[in-house]
Amino acid sequence: MDVRPLRHKKADGTLWVRPPDVETEIRATLELATTELVAKAIKLRLETIVYWIRETGTDKKVRNKLSEILLARCQPNIRSHVGRLPNSDEAVDEVTTTMFTAILDLEKTGGDVYEAIFWKKLKTTSTDVARAHLTRNRRNPMPRELTEDFGEVANGEDDLGRSAPDSPLEAVLKAGDEQAYKEGKRLARIAIGLLKPEVQQAYLLREEGWAIESKESDEETISKALHRTPRTIRNWLREAEDAVRRRLGGGHD
């Protein structure tokens, strides 16, 4: 019995292939009795489990059992990806539905990718679901957001006349205490995690070194990525920095 080859093509037209260690593991399971396969599934790679779920010859009961094991092993990761969305339960369910629909649909080849790069594909699917949720929220904004974009401020100040904020963590970094910086960063992440997703995105992109705006029209900026004016982004960053300061005990208010 041979390992079934993948049929799905990448964007560049080449076929997906499984990594050698996945191929080897699948090969080692080919001769297993179904009871052994299910018993070992808890330790198998998820790519191997998906392979057996997608095998047309797999007994239905075994397929169902393997699907349950797959779900149990990857569900916490789904939550970890979309947990910051406002309606995260809905997003978790959408990721689960999208993933299992692809895996169980043998008429389409898209599920093959889960046999090659399971975790990466799961994160990609989760992020794409998050993208769709955030886009829907942007299309149906809360009343407060509707009022935020009125008017542009050319001098780069926010609506209170303040320029783009400096990170409160920078002061700790300048002091040279690496341990304190790490702890500060952890606390900052907790503080940021409580804010609106858009505000979190602005803060995180800024943390990644993105500029708020640029004179170069083709440069990617936070303002472009979040479809908001630089002024709104500055307001959001100010909100985020204030939250971080409060969490760090700076008492800025």
Partner 1 sequence: MTSVLWSDVLDEYVGVGVGSPEQLREWIRRYPQFETELRDFTAAWVLTSAAEEDVLEASDHAKELNERDHLRGSSIVQNLLHHLDNQSAEPTSSLGAECQRLGRDLQSVAEEADLGVPLFRKLDRRQIVVESIPDRVLTILATILGRTVVFVRSCLGGPPRAAAALHHSDKAPELVKPQDFFEAIRLDPDMPEERRSRWMALKDQR
Does residue 164 bind partner 1 (CB under 8 A)? Answer: no
- Smallest separation, CB 63 to partner 1 (Å): 7
Choosing from 11, 146, 154, 160, the residue that interacts with partner 1 (CB under 8 A) is 11
How many other CB atoms are found less than 10 A from the CB of residue 178? Answer: 10
Q: How far is CA 77 from the centre of its chain?
A: 10
Print the binding letters for residues 199-228 with partner 1: x by CB under 8 A, - otherwise: -xx--xx--xxxx------xxxx--xxx--
**Of 82-90, 142-150, 166-174, 231-239, which segment contacts partner 1 by CB under 8 A?**
82-90
The C-alpha atoms of residue 94 and residue 100 are separated, in whole angstroms, by 10
The C-alpha atoms of residue 164 and residue 82 are separated, in whole angstroms, by 29
Does residue 54 bind partner 1 (CB under 8 A)? Answer: no
Alpha helix (H) residue ranges in 2-85: 20-29, 34-40, 46-54, 60-82
Does residue 141 bind partner 1 (CB under 8 A)? Answer: no
- List, as own/partner pairs, every contact residues 190-195 make where C-beta atoms lie below 8 angstroms and the sequence separation is at least 24, other chains included: 190/247, 191/243, 191/244, 191/246, 191/247, 191/248, 192/240, 192/243, 192/244, 193/84, 194/243, 195/239, 195/240, 195/243
Choosing from 59, 89, 177, 178, the residue that interacts with partner 1 (CB under 8 A) is 89
Given the rule CB under 8 A, which residues bind partner 1?
Answer: 9-12, 60, 63-64, 67-68, 71-72, 75-85, 89-90, 92-94, 96-98, 100-101, 104, 110, 113, 117, 120-121, 123-124, 126-128, 130-132, 134-136, 139, 189-190, 192-193, 197, 200-201, 204-205, 208-211, 218-221, 224-226
